[in-house]
Amino acid sequence: MSTQDILKNASTLASYNVLLQVMFRVLTFLLNAFTLRFVSKELIGVVNVRLTLLYSTLVFLSREAFRRACLSGESGTNRSWRQVINLLWLTVPLGVFWAILLGCVWLWLLEVPDAQTVPHYGPSVVLFAFSGVQELLAEPLWVLAQAHMFVRLKVIAESLAMVAKCSVTVVLVVFARDWGLYIFSAAHLVYTGFLVVCYVVYFIHFLGSKEAEKKKFPLQHVRDLLPCKAKGEPLVDWTVARLTWSFFKQSFLKQILTEGERYVMTFLNVLSFGDQGIYDIVNNLGSMVARFIFLPIEESFYIFFAKVLERGRDIESQKKEDVAIAAEVLECLMKLVLVIGLIITVFGYAYSHLALDLYGGALLSSGSGPGLLRCYSCYVLLLAVNGVTECFVFAAMSQQEVDKYNLVMLALSVSFLVLSYMLTWWAGGVGFILANCLNMALRISHSLLFIHHYFQFSQWKPLRGLLPSPLLLVVLILSAVVTAVSEAAFCCNGGWLLRMLHICVGGVCLLFVLVAVLFTETRLVQFVRTQLLPRYRKKHT
């Protein structure tokens, strides 16, 4: 597969992932708004913080390192998928191990919620852990689909699973409210079960078909998906296995940085279950754009960079065409996420109070909610830049550099936990966001230094993507001032007419910002049109 084909497929994958994440976040957004009116904030806190943390920790530690290593282009086109499949099946016993260990911690070492307010906590811990192991059964199929760019499979599977989860939740919340945590446990089991079934059914029909032969798919039979030792070769590719071990050591630290505030809330009890519920709702609302735009771009273009660049080799020893495309894509991606992040930061400040008031009423907008969301709007800008820079760095680093970076991650993890604990006692939930901002800034600095040294003696300067045009900056500053004045004058206790006027002011300012982008960031606009908009690309190819 040529570099242009890889870029095209990665761009298509990113586009579909963005659409998928938009649907996920909209459904979750509506589901949370619905359940807020039927269940207590303490129940939401336990589900969205503690039980979700159990599931995400189990799944992340079991599969993240395998995904990064097995999707890396290091082993080239001659990789043995038989060995890769064998390696990927290790995620299941590893998941069982983490399920038992983490389940014991969640059941016996952490504070147990009040049974009257949050019923059925113990069985729900077991069910959430089981759902994580259940999802790992599809891991070899997921990696195969990602590596061969089966973009529609992921969209269909996760869409069906999410719709099923939301349907089960709504029905049980309305008709079986007394079930408590069983409602969310059952919905999560349905979600992971649907994922596994969709992937299995697809590959059963795909393997051995004419489409598989046309694509020269490396596996021919369903039994090839099961672990099996091939004659004349080791059980696993030890190069990939060693790389997996390097990423595995790093995964502990990355998980702490990713879910750090939930670990602090869960293990240090700095917030009550009710306050945890409010913080998590605001956190999810603030991170919607980051998750449904930035995360899919990071995941998809990590695959692109990993396939185009040769891990651990300097640019002089690689194909100039590949390096040129990678540098151009990196520059455009950084400019894209920077512009989106700046827009969110500017408009998030003036519209946080209104958004929370519309979403959850006085429960969210009367307390610390608006301040939390304003701080999160600034944090989104750092999230945007970090996601793109780290996806390039992790794709280009050698195994030795990955091991060295583990020490950096260790220092960041320790500092984050200390900062989170101190700042939370000082500033409440805002302290979590401030600690995240500081650590994210340090991670970005490390990534920028790596990228600078990587391209230092070449003609390509992708870091220019972090320099927006002066006109765009002026328009953004003016928009920030105008919308802040509008909020003070019109929002949010003067009735719906003044609220609509405040929204119209923001709409006009946003229009001016988009016009400034169209006229000043022409390379970015061209990149979005040709690489991130599948319909446009199909029409013009």
User: What CA–CA distances, in Å, run from 541 to 192, 366, 493, 524, 530?
Assistant: 38, 52, 52, 19, 9
pLDDT, averaged across the chain: 84
Asked if residue 72 has pLDDT above 80, the reply is: no
pTM of the predicted structure, to 2 decimals: 0.70
List own/partner pairs for 22-28 with CB under 8 A and 24 or more apart.
Answer: 22/292, 23/159, 23/162, 24/158, 24/162, 24/292, 25/288, 25/291, 25/292, 27/162, 27/163, 27/166, 28/166, 28/284
Point out the domain boundary residue: 245, 266, 287: 266
pLDDT digits (tens, 9 = 90+) for 346-389: 999 999 888 888 877 777 777 777 888 888 888 989 988 998 89
Same domain, 257 and 304: no
Q: Are residues 321 and 382 in the same domain?
A: yes
pLDDT band at 52 (very low <50, low <70, confident <90, very high): very high
Mean pLDDT of 490-496: 79
288 domain-assigned: yes
User: Do residues 258 and 374 share a domain?
Assistant: no
> Per-residue pLDDT averaged across 315-342, rounded?
87
The band of 538, judged by pLDDT with boundaries at 50, 70 and 90, is very low
Q: Residues 145, 252: one domain? A: yes
Residue 104 has a pLDDT of 96
pLDDT range class, residue 419, cuts 50, 70, 90? confident
* 255 found inside a domain: yes
pLDDT over 80 (residue 209): yes
Upper half-sphere CA count for residue 18 (Cβ side, 13 Å): 17
Q: Which two tokens stand for residue 369?
A: 């909610």
Distance CA(300)–CA(475), nearest Å, equals: 31
Confidence at 539, pLDDT banded by 50, 70, 90: very low
pLDDT at 74 over 50: no
188 and 260 inside one domain = yes
DSSP string, 195-250: HHHHHHHHHHHHTTSHHHHHTT-S--SGGGGS--PPTTS-SS-HHHHHHHHHHHHH
Does residue 261 sit in the same domain as residue 295? no
Distance of CA 339 to the CA centre of its chain: 19
What distance in Å separates the CA atoms of residue 63 and residue 264, rounded to the nearest whole number?
23
- Would residue 315 count as lying in a domain? yes
> Stretch 141-154: mean pLDDT, rounded?
85
Short-list 455, 463, 127, 509, CA closest to 309: 455
Residue 18 falls within a domain, yes or no? no
- What pLDDT is stored for residue 137 in this prediction? 96
Q: Is the same domain home to 437 and 345?
A: yes
Q: What is the pLDDT of residue 484?
A: 93
Provide mean pLDDT across the span 408-422. Answer: 82
Tokens of 110: 């952490």
Length of the chain: 541
198, part of any domain: yes
> How many whole angstroms separate alpha carbon 236 and alpha carbon 229?
8
Q: Do 363 and 404 reside in the same domain of the chain?
A: yes
Of 418, 441, 412, 443, nearest to 431 (Cα)? Answer: 418
Contacts of 5 (CB under 8 A, 6+ apart): none
Listed residue (189, 64, 177) closest to 134, CA to CA = 189
Instruction: Choose one of 266, 299, 322: the last residue of a domain.
Output: 266
Task: Let me know: does 350 contact 32? Beta carbons within 8 Å.
Answer: no
Asked, for residue 439, whether it belongs to a domain, the answer is yes
How does pLDDT run across 31-48, given as a tens digit for each residue? 777 777 788 778 988 998
- pLDDT of 20: 63
Residues 278 and 255 in one domain: no
pLDDT in tens, 233-287: 788 888 888 888 888 877 777 787 778 778 888 888 888 887 788 788 888 777 7
Q: What is the 3-state secondary structure (H, E, C) of 375-389?
A: HHHHHHHHHHHHHHH
Cβ–Cβ < 8 Å for 79, 236: no
Q: For residues 225 and 138, is the Cβ–Cβ distance under 8 A? A: no
371 and 455 assigned to the same domain: yes
| pLDDT value for 186 | 96
Last residue of a domain, which of 209, 231, 266?
266
Instruction: Compute how many other C-beta atoms are within 10 angstroms of the C-beta atom of residue 445.
Output: 12
Q: Are residues 297 and 330 in contact, defined by beta-carbon separation less than 8 angstroms?
A: no
Least confident of 89-98, 314-323, 381-390: 314-323
| pLDDT value for 75 | 40
* Contact indicator for 218, 158 with CB cutoff of 8 Å: no
Helix (H) or strand (E) holding 303: helix 295-308
For the chain, how many structural domains are there in total?
2
Query: Is residue 232 in some structural domain?
Result: yes
Q: How many C-alpha atoms does 409 have within 13 Å on its Cβ side?
A: 22
pLDDT confidence of 18, banded at 50, 70, 90? Answer: low
pLDDT band at 324 (very low <50, low <70, confident <90, very high): confident
**Weakest-pLDDT range from 138-147, 374-383, 509-518, 526-535:** 526-535
- Are residues 280 and 255 part of one domain? no
DSSP 24-61: HHHHHHHHHHHHTTTS-HHHHHIIIIIIHHHHHHHHHH
Amino acid code (one letter) for 10: A
User: Which of 12-21, 54-63, 247-256 is modeled with the greatest confidence?
Assistant: 54-63
Does residue 511 lie within any of the structural domains?
A: no
Flag whether pLDDT at 124 surpasses 90: yes
Structural domain including 219 reads 40-266
281 lies in the same domain as 294: yes
Residue carrying the six token digits 């999802």: 135
